[in-house]
Each structure stands twice: as C-alpha cells, then as structure tokens.
Amino acid sequence: MSNETGDVKKEEHWTKSYWRPAMGWSYMMICLFDFMLAPIFFGILSAVTKMPMIAWKSLTLAEGGLFHLAMGAVLGISAFGRTQEKTAKISSDAETPMPTSRKKSEVLE
C-alpha cells in the first residue's frame, strides 16, 4: 500500500490496531452484564423458583471497585496516547509542504 509520498506503508497486525476498541467493548459488556443483565436474570430466577428475593451483589464492585479503577486507567491512558499519536501525525503532515496550484496563465502557456 502506498501513500502520497511513495513510501510503502508497513501493515500493522490487527491486534495492535484494534486493542483499544476491544478493551472498550469488553468493558462495556462487563458493565452491561454486571449492572443490568445479571440483576434482571437473578430477579427472574428468584421469581420463577419461588425463592425469596435476594439482592444481586455486583462482581466488579467487590474489593472496593478496583476493577473499574484499573479499566478506567487503561482506557483513559490509551485514549490520551491515541490523541497524542493523532496530533503528532497531523503536525508532521502540516510540516510537509503542500503542492501549490499553478496559475491559469502558467497552464495556458
């Protein structure tokens, strides 16, 4: 694959380019399960089996919620790093001279 300068772009492995979205999606699914799906399922299970209703205890909030702090740190730092990568790329692209357009008089000559 070539870019405008003619240099060959090195292909990245898919895990290197998609680990950030994968972390975000997995964290979203964990939160969805732990805060929505499991409590609803636990309530329905209690109603169906005629057991007394016992409140769902969040798995990720056990031990002081360290899981959410760790995931917040990983996602926050990776988002900051990605922002730095993009701003560095934009500033390096801005430093390269843009091709100037020719005047109509130069084209006609």
In a domain, 95, yes or no: no
Range of the domain at 27: 14-81
Please give the tally of structural domains in the chain: 1
- The rounded percent of the chain whose pLDDT value lies above 70 is 76
In a domain, 58, yes or no: yes
- Using CA atoms, how far apart are residues 31 and 45, in angstroms rounded to an integer? 20
Nearest CA among 66, 65, 102, 82 for reference residue 24? 82
CA-only gyration radius of the chain, Å: 26
In a domain, 2, yes or no: no
User: What pLDDT score was predicted for residue 96?
Assistant: 63
What DSSP line would sit under 22-86, residue for residue? HHHHHHHHHHHIIIIIHHHHHHHHHHHTTPPP-PPPPSSSGGGGHHHHHHHHHHHHHHHHHHHHH
User: What pLDDT score was predicted for residue 2?
Assistant: 46
Which tokens in the block code for residue 76?
Answer: 């926050």
Give the chain's mean pLDDT: 80
Q: Is the pTM above the cut of 0.95? A: no
pLDDT tens for 28-65 read 999 999 999 999 999 999 999 998 888 889 989 988 88
Output 9 or 90, whichever has higher pLDDT.
90
The residue-averaged pLDDT of 103-109 equals: 55
**Would you say residue 101 has pLDDT above 80?**
no
